[in-house]
């Protein structure tokens, strides 16, 4: 995409004082009306990102907007360097946590562009090259914004710009007043000294992250009234877009879909059944191995996300209990996933899973997971086809971000036969202590057995990656399945630890 020249925005016509006084009341009324309609419709959320060169007036313009809006329905977030808790998770974790529900507005100072701009500043070479880590950061942001828009978030991206002489004048004025001196950081001064190089970097970032669904709006920040009115108009346009449903994104063709027929979901283990004494001995050995791996010094640089999927009664809970029995209770968390709550439905579907990511040195074990989007939501038509079809790429990107942050991802599909599932349903129904495990929804899912098997094959074919591979476990024999899971998990961790 051609690089836009930021200085060109500074030569545009600005409003006169009279024009501003005439336009402002109309804009304020329209913003309040649009905000009320957004709250009533509850169809989309609005995220506004405000970036800018130092002293371009970001804080002032955000404060102006807050005076025009209903404060109960808008939240402003500012970001400093990542703290200890945030450093324990992938870069985008702290932004996913604040994605607003439908009907609300969030205004982010720089948002996820903060780290990107810092990385771009460090990676300037003067020859237009882009370091690999910068390219990857751009790819993450482009994918994030596409997903947010498709999942019901209207994105408004505004960049404020001023000329170097205006910037210097404002920084000097802030610095000279002891009540505002705190607002001028050493970093601001450094960026001001390197104005033209920073301007070129910003132009490059804006060009790299420009997308039809998330365009940039560059606003001249020289005049405070002109600046506020232009940013207000951009927010109003975003609120009006939020009243319309998102355009359908065509699903990208996947070569992996052709490989789905090669995915074997066999439920019978090869060889003889595991005898009880042999099982107890192997179980103790594997649990001891897992415990020792989790206590290695090097493990403190990693985290583990274990995902369990499978048909009802396939033995997911039993396998999980054999893992947790080997771990310190302070080291793991088991997250059972059921139908999303109203609060979760009001946000992008991956939002609730980002919340549960473990810090370094810990495990999160998901009893069902984000793969519900391409399993139950696909089979039971709970999500439109365009949504579950694009989810494969979104899930791969999510798991790649985990792996890049040294999170060990282990995924298990426990494959049980239809006859064995029926036998286990009967056993549970006869046992008063287990009867609660079988509900009408389980029987309904059983009616869609073939559709679930087809969806599982597609899922494994499209999301089996080097950084997050699937292990298909023959689960008709529970003992065999538990040993396979423990061994595969220990192998994954051992490989990651070297």
Q: Does residue 1 carry a pLDDT above 70?
A: no
> What are the tokens at 425?
């349903």
What DSSP letter does each residue of 391-445 carry, written as one string?
A: HHHHHHHHHHHHHHTTEEEEEEEEE--HHHHHHHHHHHHH-TTTGGG--HHHHHH
Would you state the pLDDT for residue 487? Answer: 98
- Domain residue limits at 204: 6-241
Would you state the pLDDT for residue 390? Answer: 96
Query: Domain check: are 182 and 327 in the same one?
Result: no
Identify the band that residue 128 occupies on the pLDDT scale cut at 50, 70 and 90: very low
Q: Does residue 27 carry a pLDDT above 70?
A: yes
Q: What is the mean pLDDT of residues 320-338?
A: 97
Reported as half-sphere exposure (CB side, CA atoms, 13 A), residue 15 has a value of 19
Query: Domain check: are 220 and 314 in the same one?
Result: no
Tell me the per-residue pLDDT of 84-114, one tens digit each, with 9 for 90 and over: 999 999 999 999 999 999 999 999 999 999 8
Identify the band that residue 439 occupies on the pLDDT scale cut at 50, 70 and 90: confident
Whether 373 is covered by a domain: the verdict is yes
Q: What is the mean pLDDT of residues 299-323?
A: 96
Q: Compute the distance between CA of residue 29 and CA of residue 35 in angstroms, rounded to an integer.
A: 10
Lowest-pLDDT range of 160-169, 242-251, 277-286, 345-354: 242-251
Per the model's pLDDT, the better-predicted residue between 403 and 430 turns out to be 403
What DSSP letter does each residue of 274-332 carry, written as one string?
A: PPHHHHHHHHHHHHHHHHHHHTSGGGGG-EEEEEEEESTTSSHHHHHHHHHTTS-GGGE
Lowest-pLDDT range of 70-74, 128-132, 188-192: 128-132
Q: What is the mean pLDDT of residues 377-382?
A: 96
- Average pLDDT taken over every residue of the chain: 90
Query: Domain check: are 113 and 160 in the same one?
Result: yes
Would you state the pLDDT for residue 427? Answer: 85
Residue given tokens 């056993």 in the structure block: 427
Would you state the pLDDT for residue 120? Answer: 72
Query: Domain check: are 211 and 264 in the same one?
Result: no
Asked if residue 152 lies in contact with residue 245, where contact means CB atoms within 8 angstroms, the answer is no
Identify the band that residue 131 occupies on the pLDDT scale cut at 50, 70 and 90: confident
Whether 248 is covered by a domain: the verdict is no
In the chain, the largest separation of any two C-alpha atoms, in whole Å, equals 90
Query: Domain check: are 168 and 301 in the same one?
Result: no
Q: Are strands 216-220 and 105-109 parallel, antiparallel or unpaired?
A: unpaired
Q: What is the mean pLDDT of residues 10-23?
A: 77
Q: Does residue 252 carry a pLDDT above 60?
A: no
Would you state the pLDDT for residue 271? Answer: 76
What CATH number is associated with residue 86?
3.40.50.300
Whether 171 is covered by a domain: the verdict is yes
The CA-CA-CA angle for residues 440, 442, 444, to 5°, reads 70
Whether 414 is covered by a domain: the verdict is yes
Query: Domain check: are 328 and 367 in the same one?
Result: yes
Query: Domain check: are 290 and 193 in the same one?
Result: no
Q: Does residue 238 carry a pLDDT above 80?
A: yes
Tell me the per-residue pLDDT of 145-158, one tens digit each, with 9 for 90 and over: 999 999 999 999 99
Is the entire prediction scored with pTM above 0.75? yes
The residue from 214, 241, 268 where one domain ends is: 241
Asked if residue 459 lies in contact with residue 371, where contact means CB atoms within 8 angstroms, the answer is yes
Q: Does residue 444 carry a pLDDT above 90?
A: no
The residue from 177, 209, 241 where one domain ends is: 241
Query: Domain check: are 442 and 347 in the same one?
Result: yes
Would you state the pLDDT for residue 125? Answer: 44
Query: Domain check: are 340 and 230 in the same one?
Result: no
Query: Domain check: are 217 and 263 in the same one?
Result: no
Q: Does residue 213 carry a pLDDT above 80?
A: yes
Query: Domain check: are 216 and 287 in the same one?
Result: no
DSSP state, residue 211: B
Q: Compute the distance between CA of residue 354 and CA of residue 358 in angstroms, rounded to an integer.
A: 9
Q: Does residue 456 carry a pLDDT above 60?
A: yes
- Give the three-class secondary structure for 91: coil
Whether 292 is covered by a domain: the verdict is yes
Q: Does residue 258 carry a pLDDT above 70?
A: no
468 closest CA partner among 404, 403, 413: 403
Query: Domain check: are 200 and 259 in the same one?
Result: no
Identify the band that residue 255 occupies on the pLDDT scale cut at 50, 70 and 90: low
Q: Are strands 45-52 and 470-474 parallel, antiparallel or unpaired?
A: unpaired
Contact residues for 263 (Cβ-Cβ < 8 A; gap 6+): 456, 457, 460, 461, 472
Whether 399 is covered by a domain: the verdict is yes
Whether 108 is covered by a domain: the verdict is yes
Q: Does residue 280 carry a pLDDT above 90?
A: yes
Whether 301 is covered by a domain: the verdict is yes
| Number of domains, the chain | 2
> What are the tokens at 493?
């961790």
The residue from 198, 216, 241 where one domain ends is: 241
Tell me the per-residue pLDDT of 338-374, one tens digit each, with 9 for 90 and over: 999 999 999 999 999 999 999 999 999 999 999 999 9
């Amino acid at each position: 995409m051609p690089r836009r020249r930021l200085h060109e925005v500074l030569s545009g016509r600005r409003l006169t004082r009279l024009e501003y006084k005439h336009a402002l009341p109309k804009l304020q009324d329209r913003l309040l009306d649009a905000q009320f309609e957004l709250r009533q419709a509850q169809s989309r959320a609005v995220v506004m990102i405000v970036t800018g060169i130092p002293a371009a007036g970001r804080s002032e313009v955000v404060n102006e907007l807050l005076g025009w809006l209903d404060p109960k329905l808008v939240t402003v977030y500012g970001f400093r360097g990542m703290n200890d808790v945030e450093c324990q998770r992938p870069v985008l974790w702290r932004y996913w946590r604040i994605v607003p529900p439908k009907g609300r507005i969030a205004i982010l100072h720089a948002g996820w562009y903060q780290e990107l701009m810092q990385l771009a500043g460090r990676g300037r070479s003067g020859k237009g090259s882009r370091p690999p880590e910068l390219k990857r950061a751009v790819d993450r942001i482009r994918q994030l914004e596409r997903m947010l828009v498709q999942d019901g978030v209207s994105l408004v991206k505004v960049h404020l710009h001023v000329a170097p002489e205006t910037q210097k004048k404002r920084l000097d004025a802030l610095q000279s007043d002891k009540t505002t001196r705190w607002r001028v950081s050493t970093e601001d001064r450094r960026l001001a000294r390197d104005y033209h190089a920073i301007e070129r970097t910003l132009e490059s970032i804006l060009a790299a992250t420009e997308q039809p669904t998330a365009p940039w709006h560059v606003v001249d920040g020289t005049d405070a009234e002109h600046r506020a009115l232009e940013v207000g108009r951009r927010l109003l346009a975003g609120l009006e877009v939020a009243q319309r449903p998102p355009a359908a994104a065509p699903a990208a063709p996947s070569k992996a879909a052709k490989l789905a027929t090669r995915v074997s979901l066999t439920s019978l283990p090869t060889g003889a059944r595991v005898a009880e004494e042999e099982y107890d001995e192997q179980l103790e050995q594997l649990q001891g191995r897992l415990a020792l791996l989790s206590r290695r010094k090097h493990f403190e640089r990693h985290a583990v996300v274990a995902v369990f999927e499978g048909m009802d009664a396939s033995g997911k809970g039993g396998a999980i209990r054999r893992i947790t029995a080997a771990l310190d209770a302070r080291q793991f968390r088991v997250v059972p996933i059921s139908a999303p709550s109203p609060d979760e439905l009001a946000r992008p579907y991956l939002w609730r899973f980002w919340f549960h990511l473990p810090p370094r040195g810990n495990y999160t074990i998901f009893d069902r997971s984000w793969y519900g989007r391409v399993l139950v939501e696909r089979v039971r038509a709970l999500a439109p086809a365009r949504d579950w079809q694009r989810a494969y790429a979104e899930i791969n990107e999510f798991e790649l971000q985990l792996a890049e942050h040294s999170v060990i991802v282990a995924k298990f599909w426990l494959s049980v036969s239809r006859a064995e599932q029926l036998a286990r349903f009967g056993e549970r129904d006869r046992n008063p202590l287990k009867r609660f495990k079988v509900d009408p929804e389980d029987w309904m899912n059983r009616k869609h057995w073939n559709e679930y098997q087809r969806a599982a094959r597609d899922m494994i074919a499209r999301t089996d990656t080097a950084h997050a591979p699937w292990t298909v476990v023959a689960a008709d024999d529970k003992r065999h399945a538990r040993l396979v899971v423990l061994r595969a998990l220990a192998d994954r961790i051992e490989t990651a630890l070297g």
